[in-house]
Amino acid sequence: MLKCKGSAKGGGGSKSRKGGGGSTTVKKERKLQTQKEHLVLLRSCLWDDAGKDKNPVAPFAPFLQYKRNGLDLTLDFFSGGKLPRELRGWAFSLVKENIEQAYDASGYGWDDADKESELFDKAARLVIVREAGGDKKPVGLVHFRFTLQGEFLQQMDGFPAILVYDLHLESAVRGKGLGKHIMQLLELVARKNKLSFLMTFVPDARACEKAKSFFLSTLKGFAVDNMYTEDGEGIVVLQKCLDRSILLARQQKAAESKKLQDSILETLKQIEIAKAKQAAGGKENSPASK
């Protein structure tokens, strides 16, 4: 799904030319360096020094059990390409049952082969929720990836993030705090790995209003942000910023924007007042007023 966006080579600007290519080249070089740093960070999330898949949830053992509200469950990590065959059919069926109609209704579109390929791709990371006893019956899953925000536009752009593709639970375990628990686990993973965002997307359909409400109301800090989507794509992107420096920069930018807007409004107000005074003065000096 993720394709790299080509970067143009910067030319060497002439000092005698105003706004020469020198500063542009520096900016492009800095951007490329930042992209390289982001990719190095993402690789460290995926693989250890020997090139083997990392288990990113292993450091959070207390979160790998869920014993609340009458449930006794375990959370187990799998790489998408290594999910046991006996779990593959169940996982695909659960996702298809829960979301196929919403995908079609939103215009985003559902395709069995595409979704199956996506779920079990080598880049996919899965946490399977299963009953703790007996035959360890699976009851839920989350499918996520370590990526960049620009993945939605197939661009190597944006900040490093965990992107949640799927979060699905069997009906018997819904409404018992399990979904919130899973998202808290992923936030811990993102923060430990110094990722900047925790993201997800939902089909832009009435059937998904409850899912949107879960992220925007039940969870804290998520907001709609469609910067990396295209109009008419049929999805709504929800993300939570985990990087304090980005939050502060956004707040400063918003404050500056408001200050500029207020200044423009005040200028327009003064212009209207001046026009009104001029109009009033003109009436007083007209022959009819004498």
Burial of 148 (0-12, 13-18, 19+ CB in 10 A): buried
Interval 199-226: pLDDT, tens: 999 998 888 999 999 999 999 999 999 8
Interval 229-270: pLDDT, tens: 877 678 899 999 999 887 776 667 677 777 888 888 888 888
Domain ranges of the chain: 27-242, 246-275
Q: Which parts of the chain are beta strand (E)?
A: 65-66, 73-79, 125-131, 138-148, 160-169, 197-203, 223-224, 235-241
- Residue 91 makes CB contacts below 8 A (sequence gap 6+) with 83, 119, 126, 128, 138, 141
Q: How far is CA 150 from CA 197, 238, 260, 287, in A?
A: 12, 14, 29, 68
- Sorting pLDDT into bands at 50, 70 and 90, what band is 185? very high
- Sorting pLDDT into bands at 50, 70 and 90, what band is 22? low
Which residue did the predictor score with more confidence, 75 or 9?
75
Q: Which two tokens stand for residue 87?
A: 């779990």
Interval 109-128: pLDDT, tens: 899 999 999 999 999 999 99
Over range 135-160, report the average pLDDT.
Answer: 91
* Global pTM value: 0.76
- Sorting pLDDT into bands at 50, 70 and 90, what band is 19? very low
Which residues are bridge partners to 236 per DSSP? 202
In the predicted structure, residue 288 carries a pLDDT above the cut 70: no
Q: Which of 19-23, 66-70, 245-249 has the lowest mean pLDDT?
A: 19-23
Q: How far is CA 252 from CA 12, 18, 248, in A?
A: 33, 30, 6
If we measure between CA atoms, which residue out of 91, 176, 82 comes closest to residue 139? 91
Tell me the CATH architecture of domain 27-242: 3-Layer(aba) Sandwich (3.40)
